[in-house]
Amino acid sequence: MPVSKGAEIAPAKGKLGVLLVGLGAVSTTFIAGCEAIKQGAAEPVGSLTQMGTIRLGKRTENRVPLIRDFVPLAKLDDLIFGAWDIFPDSAYEAAMNAGVLEKDLLARLKPALQKIKPMKAVFDQHYVKRLNGTNVKTGANKMALAEQLISEIEEWKRKTRCSRVVMIWAASTEIFLKPHPVHKNLAAFEKAMRENHKAIAPSMIYAYAALKSGIPFANGAPNLTVDIPALVQLANDRGLPICGKDFKTGQTLMKTILAPGLKSRMLGLHGWYSTNILGNRDGEVLDDPESFKTKEESKLSVLEYILQPEVYPDLYKDFSHVVRINYYPPRGDNKEGWDNIDIFGWLGYPMQIKIDFLCRDSILAAPIVLDLALFLDLAQRTGMKGVQEWLSFYFKSPQTAPGLYPEHDIFIQLMKLKNTLRHSRGEDLITHLGLEYYD
């Protein structure tokens, strides 16, 4: 992670390849969105890299550039997309199936989307019970599959003439896996790949292939994937940035906005009940208890870390936290998430907050994919390697250094992100102390 203040950043020369694992609702909404924005048909709403600004120096200096003018990010026009999926549908067909974007818009983008055909996936139904597809690689063992990915990436990079590539996992949530001794170091991990060990999930094979190919990797699902010592070691050895896990959208986004506010006013919490109805393929996969378990773990940890019951036992000890996701096909990607929050105030008097968030999952996730692709590429050109904690802003279950608890408060996450950018450009960090204005 660390980089010296104001370090040289290599320019964003040439094309940036964005390789997506999974060409489903999130990936196609991301790709189609980039194409629509490039054509001037839409604005990049929700994207910090495209719309966000960053204050520099004192409040009186009036220096507030756009982030994309402050740090050298790749331009949307320089992005090239590639993907793997277990279904052979092109990005156009997959976007039509996902049903997130309007047919009229997709029809206009059809020429660009139709060209994106998924490469054969590394897939095993043991890890995603509800899916079964035909566009799948075969190989003698997991290492052989990784080697196929590595040569495919090399060939793709050559064909598309990209100068740099990043990889993002936007494929289905795999079953819950616990850290295993074979994840402990690279030698054990590689041996386990050759022996087809059960503890090596397909997502880990992609992450391994990316890192071996000199490509930064982000994990948008809650699977362990790159959050294991063996792959952190590989990323550090190769000087590559990595981050995860699980894009922070919808209900968890709301939690990490609201909970820090309640805590800042020392309001107590008896319980937080969250339920969702969701009808897309992601919802179908999460209907399997083993995949849901992975998601549940990722969603549950957020409140504990933000509210710190061990520090504030009178306010937060033993609050109930329940999360449910129900697969309900009529809703498609337009999820509805309800929260019932039982809080208490002065003298312990109870109050309730109800949230009914009629959200669009992939509309919230797509700008995250864009920002992560651009920031990971920036991190690599800045010489930042290993776990990128400053990108916690984008994740439900941020990956951190071993033994360090993750920061979930979205406002702290944003400050961390912007301070990292200031630091990388040799600007003073902003502490919000502000005493100098009153000297």
Ligand X SMILES: NC(=O)c1ccc[n+]([C@@H]2O[C@H](COP(=O)([O-])OP(=O)(O)OC[C@H]3O[C@@H](n4cnc5c(N)ncnc54)[C@H](O)[C@@H]3O)[C@@H](O)[C@H]2O)c1
**Which of 128-136, 300-308, 322-330, 348-356 is the region at the interface with ligand X (rule: CB under 6 A)?**
128-136
Q: Given the complex with ligand X, which of 82 and 216 has the nearer CB atom? A: 82
Kindly state the number of chain residues that form the binding site for ligand X, as judged by CB under 6 A. 37
Describe the strand order of the beta sheet including 320-327 as a list of residue ranges. Answer: 320-327, 268-278, 336-344, 350-358
Q: What is the 3-state secondary structure (H, E, C) of the chain?
A: CCCCCCCCCCCCCCEEEEEEECCCHHHHHHHHHHHHHHCCCCCCCCCHHHHCECCECCHHHCECCEHHHHCCCCCHHHEEEEEEECCCCCHHHHHHHHCCCCHHHHHHHHHHHHCCCCEEECCCCCCCCCCCCCCECCCCCHHHHHHHHHHHHHHHHHHHCEEEEEEEECCCCCCCCCCCHHHCCHHHHHHHHHCCCCCCCHHHHHHHHHHHCCCCEEECCCCCCCCCHHHHHHHHHHCCEEECCCECCHHHHHHHHHHHHHHHCCCEEEEEEEEEEECCHHHHHHCCHHHHHHHHHHHHHHHHHHHCCCCCHHHHCCCEEEEEEEECHHHCCCCEEEEEEEEECHHHCEEEEEEEEECCHHHHHHHHHHHHHHHHHHHHHHCCCEECHHHHHHECCCCCCCCCCCCCCHHHHHHHHHHHHHHHCCCCCCCCCCHHHHC
Q: Is residue 148 within the footprint of ligand X (CB under 6 A)?
A: no
Q: Is residue 337 within the footprint of ligand X (CB under 6 A)?
A: no
The residue within the footprint of ligand X, chosen from 190, 361, 377, 389 (CB under 6 A), is: 361
The residue within the footprint of ligand X, chosen from 213, 274, 280, 301 (CB under 6 A), is: 280
One character per residue 12-41, x = contact with ligand X (rule: CB under 6 A): ---------xxxxxxx--------------
**Which of 122-130, 152-160, 322-330, 424-432 is the region at the interface with ligand X (rule: CB under 6 A)?**
122-130
**Which of 47-55, 62-70, 192-200, 242-250 is the region at the interface with ligand X (rule: CB under 6 A)?**
242-250
Shortest Cβ 368–ligand X spacing (Å):
8
Q: Given the complex with ligand X, which of 27 and 47 has the nearer CB atom? A: 27
The residue within the footprint of ligand X, chosen from 362, 380, 382, 397 (CB under 6 A), is: 362
Shortest Cβ 121–ligand X spacing (Å):
3
Q: Are strands 336-344 and 79-85 parallel, antiparallel or unpaired?
A: unpaired
Q: Is residue 67 within the footprint of ligand X (CB under 6 A)?
A: no
Residue 384, Cβ neighbours under 10 Å: how many? Answer: 24
Residue type, 73: L
Q: Is residue 79 within the footprint of ligand X (CB under 6 A)?
A: no
Q: Is residue 332 within the footprint of ligand X (CB under 6 A)?
A: no
The residue within the footprint of ligand X, chosen from 37, 170, 231, 259 (CB under 6 A), is: 170
Q: Is residue 122 within the footprint of ligand X (CB under 6 A)?
A: yes
Q: Is residue 202 within the footprint of ligand X (CB under 6 A)?
A: yes
Q: Given the complex with ligand X, which of 31 and 384 has the nearer CB atom? A: 31
Q: Is residue 85 within the footprint of ligand X (CB under 6 A)?
A: yes
One character per residue 401-420, x = contact with ligand X (rule: CB under 6 A): --------------------
The residue within the footprint of ligand X, chosen from 116, 365, 373, 387 (CB under 6 A), is: 365
Q: Given the complex with ligand X, which of 135 and 419 has the nearer CB atom? A: 135
Q: Is residue 167 within the footprint of ligand X (CB under 6 A)?
A: no
Q: Is residue 226 within the footprint of ligand X (CB under 6 A)?
A: no
Q: Where does this chain bind ligand X (CB under 6 A)?
A: 21-27, 84-87, 98, 121-123, 128, 131, 133, 170-173, 202, 220-221, 246-247, 249-250, 280-282, 285, 361-362, 364-365
